[in-house]
């Protein structure tokens, strides 16, 4: 077992770097009061909370009043979908089968329990949505909410958000995008009137787990989606996770401080892995659009060998290498990926998702490929 694992699962979660950790610890040390209390200790904590909100809003060009802190991406996605049904009278949702379960599951519940109409837009083999089909669906359904993710968490395919938004504006639909895999990794300008709702999760961009936020475009006030207190302007009751929120805001600043350098470094690592895999496994198949509109931080590929994915993942784990077979939620049980199935990717051979951070190195990528090659070789050596 190596001393330090080779961690290549940053789309699932990330490390908290020193400067962010320092801010989290300082927030924990200084936050004895409740931000809703009117005494001095409470006010001190409220000041920290609102400073974090202003920092997040400033980095994303939003207004502080458009940011609602949540426990993460899952809660924020659920809040948008349920609230739009309940508060805006939206009865039709247009989405895709490639969305994260925190979008698909509430949509399926809205359909089953509340009779909402859910239409899925066609996607191609690389995970791109068919814009003509989206337009057709939008013309067919009045007052819809379009929910399409910015970067797919399993294959990295990027949505042309401006085109989708333009179609929504033309037809009067609202646009929600699960931006969990892009906020902190790309410059996102929320003032551009592209999104009505966007969501983020701190632990995907080097913040602590359990803190995220929902962006609600000005003029679209949601009704309370958790009741029992006046926090988050009454929309989301419950004492705020101050240390998590401070950590989230520090992590976002950490990411945007030198985002261009990170983008270049990580894109270079991805490219290096593509080339190494092609050398070692000439018949490797890359899932998604690796040479086109794809997040620089995610690479998904299928190996041209018959090894059970669970066995492959556990052999890699024994060698101290952390990758995933798809989304974190499905990798615990190593069920087949619904996203890959929807794209028509064969499940006869294993598929892996590698997701990088600025801390990864080419040496780690080389070691990963070497270990993978060894496992495949051993597997075939065992066949009589």
Q: By CB under 6 A, which span of 71-79, 249-257, 261-269, 342-350 interacts with ligand PLP?
A: 71-79
**Is 96 one of the binding residues for ligand PLP (CB under 6 A)?**
no
The residue within the footprint of ligand PLP, chosen from 119, 180, 194, 250 (CB under 6 A), is 180
**Is 328 one of the binding residues for ligand PLP (CB under 6 A)?**
yes
The residue within the footprint of ligand PLP, chosen from 96, 123, 153, 165 (CB under 6 A), is 153
Q: How far is the CB of 158 from ligand PLP (least distance, A)?
A: 12
Q: How far is the CB of 203 from ligand PLP (least distance, A)?
A: 6
The residue within the footprint of ligand PLP, chosen from 177, 241, 327, 337 (CB under 6 A), is 327
**Is 147 one of the binding residues for ligand PLP (CB under 6 A)?**
no
The residue within the footprint of ligand PLP, chosen from 6, 7, 8, 73 (CB under 6 A), is 73
Q: By CB under 6 A, which span of 57-65, 70-78, 267-275, 347-355 interacts with ligand PLP?
A: 70-78
**Is 74 one of the binding residues for ligand PLP (CB under 6 A)?**
yes
Output 178 or 319, the one with its CB closest to ligand PLP.
178
Q: How far is the CB of 177 from ligand PLP (least distance, A)?
A: 10
Residue of 168, 255, 322, 329 with catalytic role: 329
Asked about 255 being catalytic, the answer comes back as no
**Is 149 one of the binding residues for ligand PLP (CB under 6 A)?**
yes
Output 200 or 303, the one with its CB closest to ligand PLP.
200
The residues near 353 (Cβ < 8 Å, ≥ 6 apart) are 9, 11, 154, 155, 298, 299, 300, 323, 324, 325, 326
Output 211 or 376, the one with its CB closest to ligand PLP.
211
Output 201 or 300, the one with its CB closest to ligand PLP.
201
Q: Nearest residue by C-beta to ligand PLP?
A: 72
* Residue ranges that bind ligand PLP, judged by CB under 6 A: 72-74, 100, 102, 149, 153, 178, 180-181, 201, 212, 327-328
- Active site positions, annotated: 329
């Amino acid at each position: 077992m190596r001393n330090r694992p080779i961690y290549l699962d940053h789309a699932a979660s990330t490390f908290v770097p020193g400067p962010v950790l320092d801010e989290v610890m300082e927030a924990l040390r200084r936050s004895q009061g409740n931000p809703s209390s009117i005494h001095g200790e409470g006010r001190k904590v409220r000041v920290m909370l609102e400073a974090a909100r202003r920092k997040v809003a400033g980095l994303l060009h939003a207004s502080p009043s458009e940011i609602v802190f949540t426990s993460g991406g899952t809660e924020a996605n659920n809040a948008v979908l349920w609230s739009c049904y309940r508060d805006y009278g939206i009865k039709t949702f247009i989405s895709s089968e490639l969305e994260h379960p925190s979008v698909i599951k509430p949509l399926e519940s809205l359909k089953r329990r509340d009779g909402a109409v859910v239409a899925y837009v066609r996607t191609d083999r690389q995970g791109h949505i068919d814009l003509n089909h989206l337009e057709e669906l939008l013309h067919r359904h009045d007052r819809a909410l379009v929910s399409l993710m910015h970067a797919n968490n399993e294959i990295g395919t990027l949505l042309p958000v401006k085109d989708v938004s333009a179609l929504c504006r033309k037809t009067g639909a609202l646009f929600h995008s699960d931006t969990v895999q892009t906020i902190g990794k790309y410059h996102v300008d929320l003032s551009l009137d592209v999104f009505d709702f966007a969501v983020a999760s701190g632990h995907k961009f080097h913040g602590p787990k359990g803190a995220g936020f929902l962006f609600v475009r000005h003029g679209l006030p949601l009704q309370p989606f958790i009741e029992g207190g006046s926090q988050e302007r009454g929309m989301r009751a419950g004492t705020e996770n101050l240390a998590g929120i401070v950590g989230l805001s520090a992590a976002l600043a950490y990411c945007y401080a030198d985002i261009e350098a990170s983008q270049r470094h990580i894109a270079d690592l991805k490219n290096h892995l593509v080339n190494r895999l092609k050398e070692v496994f000439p018949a490797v198949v890359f899932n998604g659009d690796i040479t086109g509109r794809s997040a620089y931080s995610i690479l998904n590929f299928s190996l041209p060998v018959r090894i059970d994915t669970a066995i492959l993942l556990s052999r890699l784990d024994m060698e101290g290498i952390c990758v995933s077979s798809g989304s974190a939620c499905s990798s615990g049980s190593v069920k087949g990926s619904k996203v890959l199935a929807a794209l028509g990717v064969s499940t006869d051979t294993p598929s892996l998702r590698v997701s990088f951070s600025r801390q990864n190195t080419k040496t780690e990528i080389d070691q990963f490929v070497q270990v993978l090659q060894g496992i495949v070789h051993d597997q075939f050596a065992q066949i009589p």
